[in-house]
Structure 1
Amino acid sequence: MPRVKINMPEEFLFTMEHPVRFSDLDYAKHLNSVAMVHILHEARLQFLASLGLTEANIFGLGMVVTDMAVDYRSQSFAKDVLVIEVGVSRFNKYGCDICFQITNSALDRVVCNAKQGVVFFDFDKHKIAAVPLAFKSLVGESDE
């Protein structure tokens, strides 16, 4: 079976650091894949916060994760500091991909590339909604 291919954005809009905790490790004492999902969730929330937004209120709409892919490239261990870069790509009518490049700062090695497909959601109407133009503008996406 072919490996997952993640198309990374041309530029990243947000960067944060995350120290690998002992609770993030698995039985082999390296970063657990489940912990990575939590780290990606936190990075998405902090990215939105850096824009003055929350998952529950992006210009009146919510954001829902519809799919996720992680392409692991190297191991990481307790006390490593991960640098997480976040960008946005592949817009469609209802959503986009939020992309992540996670690097081990001490080794300057990519730990993984990941993406979360998201859609915008009107929780009052219980329906997906078109991407707010204000969000596109905020992240530098044009409608051309």
Structure 2
Amino acid sequence: MSRVVIELPETLPFRTEIPVLIGHVNRGNHLGNDAVVSLLNEARLRFTLQRGFSENDASLGLMMVNADLAMTYHSEGRYGEVMVVDVGVTGFHRCG
């Protein structure tokens, strides 16, 4: 099976740190896929708030929607570790 290749820009404009909590850990004793999606949503919200708007800011007439999601894992996350998440946005479209 081919692996997903994600091409990132050289720099991303926002970085945040999120601790891995016990609720994020699955039966395999590492960060679960479902928890990663929740943590990415948290990072996205922090990014938008740092930029001065919320994801559902009606005054802008815009809403942020994830049209696609792909992940490449570099290691297993464990309880007590801190994830470093870099955020940037591209590919704006009327519907995604």
Q: TM-score, normalised by structure 2?
A: 0.88
Identity across aligned pairs (percent)? 37
Matched with 1:88 is: 89
Is the Cα–Cα contact under 8 Å of residues 9 and 88 in structure 1 kept in the other structure?
no
Matched with 2:68 is: 67
Larger strand proportion of the pair: 1
Unaligned runs of 5+ in 1: 96-117, 120-144
Q: Could you tell which deviates more after superposition, 28-37 or 6-15? A: 6-15
Between Structure 1 and Structure 2, how many residues are aligned? 95
Structure 2: how far apart are the matches of 1:9 and 1:39? 21
- CA drift of 1:10 comes to 2.2
Structure 1: how far apart are the matches of 2:76 and 2:40? 16
Structure 1: how far apart are the matches of 2:50 and 2:36? 21
Q: TM-score, normalised by structure 1?
A: 0.61
Structure 1: how far apart are the matches of 2:81 and 2:15? 16
Return the letter of the residue paired with 1:45: L
Instruction: String of CA shifts for 1:50-102, please: whole Å, max 9, x gaps.
Output: 1111111272211111111111121110000111111223x35x16xxxxxxx
Q: Cα RMSD over matched residues?
A: 1.7
Return the letter of the residue paired with 1:72: Y
1:96-107 paired onto structure 2 within 5 Å: none
- CA drift of 1:8 comes to 0.8
Matched with 2:12 is: 12
- CA drift of 1:38 comes to 0.2
Instruction: String of CA shifts for 1:89-143, please: whole Å, max 9, x gaps.
Output: 3x35x16xxxxxxxxxxxxxxxxxxxxxx82xxxxxxxxxxxxxxxxxxxxxxxx
1:1-144 paired onto structure 2 within 5 Å: 1-57=1-57, 59-89=60-90, 91=91, 94=93, 119=96
